[in-house]
Amino acid sequence: MAAEGWDVAAARAVVGTNILGVLRVTAAFLPMLKARPRATIMATSSALAFLPRAEFPTYCASKAFLHSWLISLRHQLRKIPIEVLELSPPYVQTALTGPHQESDPRAMPLDAYVAEVMRLLERGEHPRGEVLLARDHARRWAERDGRYDAIFAAMNPD
C-alpha cells in the first residue's frame, strides 16, 4: 500500500473482526441453527462494500467480502430453513470513525436507524437478503445506475 502511515497490523485487526469474526461465529452457531425452525443469520456489511471510501480500504474490502460470502452462504443454505440476511447500515451517528461522527448532521440519527431497520425486518422487506435503508440505495445501485464515478468522486475528494 502506498499510503503514508498505513499499518498492516490495523488491517489485520479489521480482517480479524469483520471477516474471521463473522465466519467463526457462523461456524459455531450453524449446527444449532439448522435444528431451529425459522432461524436467521444476520451479518453487518456496508454500502461501502459497493462504493468504497478510499481512506478506509481494508474496512470497505472486508465488507465487500462479507457481501459475497453471505450470497454464497444464502445459496448453500437455500434448502435448509435458515434465512441469511445482510444488514447494510448507512452513515449513522456512532463513534465508528471517531467522536465527530456521533454528532455529524450528515449521519443518520442512531434511534432513527434502529427504528427503520426494525420496520424493514418486521415487514420482511429485504430483497435478496439485503436489509438496506432507502438512504443507501444510491450507493448500493451506483454502478447499475451509471452513477458510480460521480458518487465515488463525491465520497473521495482530492
* 109 in a structural domain: yes
Q: Which of 59, 91, 113, 148 is catalytic?
A: 59
pLDDT of residue 2: 55
* 107 in a structural domain: yes
The answer to whether residue 113 is catalytic is: no
Where residue 89 sits, what CATH number does that domain have?
3.40.50.720
Question: Looking at the 3D structure of the chain, how many domains does it have?
Answer: 1
pLDDT of residue 109: 94
Q: Where are the alpha helices (DSSP H) in the chain?
A: 8-15, 21-34, 57-76, 99-102, 110-123, 137-140, 148-155
* 1 in a structural domain: no
**Domain coverage including residue 98:** 8-155
C-alpha cell recorded at residue 32: 444449532
* 3 in a structural domain: no
pLDDT tens digits for the chain (158 residues)? 456 677 899 999 999 999 999 999 999 999 999 999 889 999 999 989 999 999 999 999 999 999 999 999 999 999 998 999 999 999 899 988 888 999 999 999 999 999 999 999 999 999 999 999 999 999 999 999 999 999 999 999 98
Q: How would you classify residue 13: left for phi > 0, otherwise alpha for psi between -120 and 50, otherwise beta?
A: alpha
* 106 in a structural domain: yes
* 2 in a structural domain: no
Contact 50, 143 (CB under 8 A): yes
* 80 in a structural domain: yes
* 70 in a structural domain: yes
Which pTM does this prediction carry? 0.89
pLDDT of residue 3: 60
> Is the torsion defined by CA of 70, 71, 72, 73 positive or negative?
positive
